[in-house]
A and B are shown apart, each in its own frame.
Chain A
Amino acid sequence: MNVHHIPGTMSLDPNMPADLPLSIVRGLSGVHYAFYLDKEIMDAIMTEEGTIVGSANIPVDN
Protein backbone atom coordinates (compact mmCIF):
# COMPACT_ATOMS: atom_id res chain seq x y z
CA MET A 1 0.00 0.00 0.00
CA ASN A 2 1.31 3.45 -0.86
CA VAL A 3 1.55 5.93 1.96
CA HIS A 4 0.18 9.43 1.50
CA HIS A 5 -0.64 12.01 4.11
CA ILE A 6 -2.93 14.95 3.59
CA PRO A 7 -2.92 17.54 6.39
CA GLY A 8 -6.17 17.77 8.28
CA THR A 9 -8.63 14.94 8.76
CA MET A 10 -7.81 13.15 5.57
CA SER A 11 -5.03 10.61 5.95
CA LEU A 12 -4.17 7.56 3.92
CA ASP A 13 -1.27 6.71 6.20
CA PRO A 14 -1.82 3.09 7.26
CA ASN A 15 0.42 3.66 10.29
CA MET A 16 -1.75 6.41 11.64
CA PRO A 17 -4.19 4.89 14.11
CA ALA A 18 -7.70 4.79 12.78
CA ASP A 19 -10.74 4.97 14.94
CA LEU A 20 -12.99 1.94 15.12
CA PRO A 21 -15.20 2.65 12.07
CA LEU A 22 -12.22 3.36 9.85
CA SER A 23 -10.31 0.30 11.02
CA ILE A 24 -13.36 -1.89 10.34
CA VAL A 25 -13.68 -0.53 6.81
CA ARG A 26 -9.95 -0.89 6.16
CA GLY A 27 -10.20 -4.54 7.19
CA LEU A 28 -12.87 -5.42 4.63
CA SER A 29 -11.93 -7.64 1.72
CA GLY A 30 -11.03 -5.74 -1.45
CA VAL A 31 -10.42 -2.40 0.27
CA HIS A 32 -7.16 -0.75 -0.86
CA TYR A 33 -7.58 2.62 0.83
CA ALA A 34 -10.08 4.07 3.27
CA PHE A 35 -9.92 7.56 4.69
CA TYR A 36 -12.16 10.28 6.07
CA LEU A 37 -13.20 13.00 3.66
CA ASP A 38 -12.92 16.55 4.86
CA LYS A 39 -15.38 19.37 4.21
CA GLU A 40 -13.43 20.84 1.30
CA ILE A 41 -13.63 17.72 -0.85
CA MET A 42 -17.19 16.95 0.25
CA ASP A 43 -18.32 20.41 -0.90
CA ALA A 44 -16.60 19.82 -4.25
CA ILE A 45 -18.28 16.42 -4.60
CA MET A 46 -21.72 17.82 -3.83
CA THR A 47 -21.25 20.56 -6.42
CA GLU A 48 -20.03 18.11 -9.05
CA GLU A 49 -22.85 15.61 -8.38
CA GLY A 50 -25.34 18.40 -9.07
CA THR A 51 -24.10 18.64 -12.65
CA ILE A 52 -24.37 14.92 -13.54
CA VAL A 53 -26.85 13.89 -16.23
CA GLY A 54 -27.69 10.27 -16.99
CA SER A 55 -28.37 8.42 -20.23
CA ALA A 56 -30.96 10.00 -22.53
CA ASN A 57 -30.32 13.26 -20.63
CA ILE A 58 -32.34 11.98 -17.68
CA PRO A 59 -31.34 13.87 -14.53
CA VAL A 60 -29.49 11.97 -11.80
CA ASP A 61 -30.05 12.48 -8.09
CA ASN A 62 -27.17 10.99 -6.09
Chain B
Amino acid sequence: MKREAVICIIKSHFRPPPEPTVVLMSGECKIIGEEVFPWTRKDYEARDDVVWMFDGFVLFPKIPVIGGEHFVMPPVSFPELNESNGCLDVVSCSPAPSCDAMIREYAGLPVDTKLASIIVAFNRVKGFDASIPGEGSVKEHSLARSHLRRLS
Protein backbone atom coordinates (compact mmCIF):
# COMPACT_ATOMS: atom_id res chain seq x y z
CA MET B 1 0.00 0.00 0.00
CA LYS B 2 1.94 2.96 -1.25
CA ARG B 3 -0.05 5.75 0.37
CA GLU B 4 0.80 8.57 2.77
CA ALA B 5 -1.34 7.25 5.60
CA VAL B 6 -2.55 3.83 6.67
CA ILE B 7 -5.26 3.23 9.25
CA CYS B 8 -5.98 -0.16 10.79
CA ILE B 9 -9.55 -0.82 11.87
CA ILE B 10 -10.33 -3.59 14.35
CA LYS B 11 -14.04 -4.33 14.10
CA SER B 12 -16.67 -6.78 15.24
CA HIS B 13 -19.09 -6.15 12.39
CA PHE B 14 -18.95 -3.77 9.50
CA ARG B 15 -20.93 -2.76 6.46
CA PRO B 16 -20.69 -5.19 3.53
CA PRO B 17 -17.82 -4.56 1.13
CA PRO B 18 -18.87 -2.67 -2.01
CA GLU B 19 -17.18 -5.17 -4.33
CA PRO B 20 -15.49 -8.61 -4.19
CA THR B 21 -12.55 -8.74 -1.81
CA VAL B 22 -10.92 -11.72 -3.52
CA VAL B 23 -10.72 -12.70 -7.19
CA LEU B 24 -8.88 -15.48 -9.03
CA MET B 25 -6.85 -14.17 -11.94
CA SER B 26 -5.07 -15.85 -14.81
CA GLY B 27 -1.48 -15.12 -15.70
CA GLU B 28 -2.88 -12.74 -18.33
CA CYS B 29 -4.64 -10.81 -15.56
CA LYS B 30 -8.12 -11.95 -16.61
CA ILE B 31 -10.62 -12.60 -13.84
CA ILE B 32 -11.37 -16.33 -13.86
CA GLY B 33 -13.25 -16.42 -10.55
CA GLU B 34 -14.58 -14.09 -7.90
CA GLU B 35 -16.14 -13.86 -4.47
CA VAL B 36 -19.92 -14.00 -4.22
CA PHE B 37 -21.81 -12.42 -1.35
CA PRO B 38 -25.22 -13.63 -0.14
CA TRP B 39 -26.76 -10.49 -1.62
CA THR B 40 -25.08 -10.94 -5.02
CA ARG B 41 -25.71 -14.69 -5.22
CA LYS B 42 -28.86 -14.24 -7.31
CA ASP B 43 -26.79 -12.52 -10.01
CA TYR B 44 -24.87 -15.75 -10.57
CA GLU B 45 -27.48 -18.44 -9.95
CA ALA B 46 -29.16 -17.98 -13.31
CA ARG B 47 -25.90 -17.93 -15.26
CA ASP B 48 -24.75 -21.00 -17.18
CA ASP B 49 -21.17 -19.80 -17.53
CA VAL B 50 -20.18 -20.13 -13.87
CA VAL B 51 -19.13 -23.04 -11.68
CA TRP B 52 -19.38 -22.83 -7.91
CA MET B 53 -15.94 -23.44 -6.39
CA PHE B 54 -17.17 -22.82 -2.85
CA ASP B 55 -20.42 -21.53 -1.44
CA GLY B 56 -19.18 -17.97 -1.81
CA PHE B 57 -16.94 -18.20 -4.84
CA VAL B 58 -17.54 -18.84 -8.54
CA LEU B 59 -15.25 -19.76 -11.42
CA PHE B 60 -15.69 -18.65 -15.03
CA PRO B 61 -14.60 -21.81 -16.89
CA LYS B 62 -15.15 -20.31 -20.34
CA ILE B 63 -12.32 -17.87 -19.79
CA PRO B 64 -9.07 -19.60 -20.79
CA VAL B 65 -6.44 -19.89 -18.08
CA ILE B 66 -3.11 -18.95 -19.60
CA GLY B 67 0.01 -18.53 -17.51
CA GLY B 68 -1.30 -20.09 -14.31
CA GLU B 69 -3.57 -18.54 -11.76
CA HIS B 70 -3.31 -16.61 -8.53
CA PHE B 71 -5.66 -15.18 -5.96
CA VAL B 72 -5.75 -11.41 -5.79
CA MET B 73 -7.14 -9.41 -2.91
CA PRO B 74 -7.92 -6.29 -4.95
CA PRO B 75 -8.04 -2.84 -3.42
CA VAL B 76 -11.59 -2.28 -2.23
CA SER B 77 -13.15 1.17 -2.19
CA PHE B 78 -13.83 2.81 1.16
CA PRO B 79 -16.37 5.54 0.45
CA GLU B 80 -16.48 6.96 3.99
CA LEU B 81 -13.10 8.57 3.36
CA ASN B 82 -13.01 10.86 0.34
CA GLU B 83 -11.94 14.29 -0.86
CA SER B 84 -14.54 16.03 1.32
CA ASN B 85 -12.63 14.87 4.41
CA GLY B 86 -9.16 15.37 2.97
CA CYS B 87 -8.50 11.88 1.58
CA LEU B 88 -7.47 10.86 -1.94
CA ASP B 89 -6.75 7.51 -3.62
CA VAL B 90 -8.50 5.63 -0.80
CA VAL B 91 -8.22 1.85 -0.85
CA SER B 92 -8.88 -0.85 1.71
CA CYS B 93 -8.09 -4.52 2.15
CA SER B 94 -8.25 -7.28 4.70
CA PRO B 95 -4.84 -8.43 5.90
CA ALA B 96 -3.97 -12.12 6.09
CA PRO B 97 -4.76 -13.71 9.47
CA SER B 98 -1.06 -13.82 10.34
CA CYS B 99 -0.76 -10.08 9.63
CA ASP B 100 -3.88 -9.41 11.67
CA ALA B 101 -2.21 -11.21 14.58
CA MET B 102 1.01 -9.23 14.06
CA ILE B 103 -0.82 -5.92 14.17
CA ARG B 104 -2.63 -6.82 17.37
CA GLU B 105 0.54 -7.99 19.05
CA TYR B 106 2.34 -4.80 17.97
CA ALA B 107 -0.53 -2.68 19.23
CA GLY B 108 -0.80 -4.59 22.50
CA LEU B 109 -4.34 -5.72 21.77
CA PRO B 110 -5.64 -9.04 23.03
CA VAL B 111 -6.32 -11.89 20.64
CA ASP B 112 -10.05 -11.93 20.01
CA THR B 113 -11.41 -14.13 17.27
CA LYS B 114 -14.66 -12.18 17.28
CA LEU B 115 -12.82 -9.17 15.89
CA ALA B 116 -11.26 -8.79 12.45
CA SER B 117 -9.17 -6.09 10.89
CA ILE B 118 -9.32 -3.91 7.80
CA ILE B 119 -6.53 -1.73 6.51
CA VAL B 120 -7.42 1.59 4.86
CA ALA B 121 -4.77 3.59 3.03
CA PHE B 122 -4.98 7.01 1.45
CA ASN B 123 -3.14 10.10 0.32
CA ARG B 124 -3.96 13.44 1.87
CA VAL B 125 -5.42 16.38 -0.03
CA LYS B 126 -2.70 19.02 -0.09
CA GLY B 127 -3.48 21.98 2.14
CA PHE B 128 -6.51 20.33 3.75
CA ASP B 129 -6.71 20.97 7.50
CA ALA B 130 -7.69 17.58 8.92
CA SER B 131 -7.60 18.66 12.55
CA ILE B 132 -10.92 18.74 14.34
CA PRO B 133 -12.07 22.22 15.42
CA GLY B 134 -11.91 22.71 19.18
CA GLU B 135 -9.79 19.63 19.83
CA GLY B 136 -6.42 20.90 18.69
CA SER B 137 -4.19 19.06 16.32
CA VAL B 138 -2.53 15.75 17.10
CA LYS B 139 0.81 17.57 16.97
CA GLU B 140 -0.36 20.19 19.48
CA HIS B 141 -1.65 17.44 21.76
CA SER B 142 1.65 15.56 21.59
CA LEU B 143 3.56 18.77 22.40
CA ALA B 144 1.28 19.41 25.37
CA ARG B 145 1.83 15.85 26.60
CA SER B 146 5.61 16.13 26.38
CA HIS B 147 5.46 19.48 28.17
CA LEU B 148 3.41 17.93 30.98
CA ARG B 149 5.83 14.99 31.19
CA ARG B 150 8.74 17.41 31.58
CA LEU B 151 6.91 19.27 34.37
CA SER B 152 6.00 16.12 36.28
Q: Which interface class (under 10, 10 to 19, 20 to 34, 35 or more) fits B? A: 35 or more
Distance to closest chain B CB from A25 (angstroms): 6
Name the B residues within 8 Å of A18 (CB-CB): 132, 138
B108 and A20 contact, CB distance less than 8 A:
no
B103 and A41 contact, CB distance less than 8 A:
yes
Name the A residues within 8 Å of B70 (CB-CB): 54, 58-61
Distance to closest chain B CB from A28 (angstroms): 6
- Across the A-B interface, the 8 shortest Cβ-Cβ residue pairs: A30-B13, A62-B73, A19-B130, A33-B10, A17-B135, A59-B70, A20-B130, A54-B71
Interface residues of A (CB under 8 A from B): 2, 4, 6, 10, 12, 16-25, 28-37, 40-42, 44-45, 48-49, 52, 54, 58-62
Interface residues of B (CB under 8 A from A): 1, 5-15, 24, 69-73, 80-81, 85-87, 93, 95-96, 98-99, 102-103, 106-110, 115, 119-120, 122, 130-132, 135-138, 141
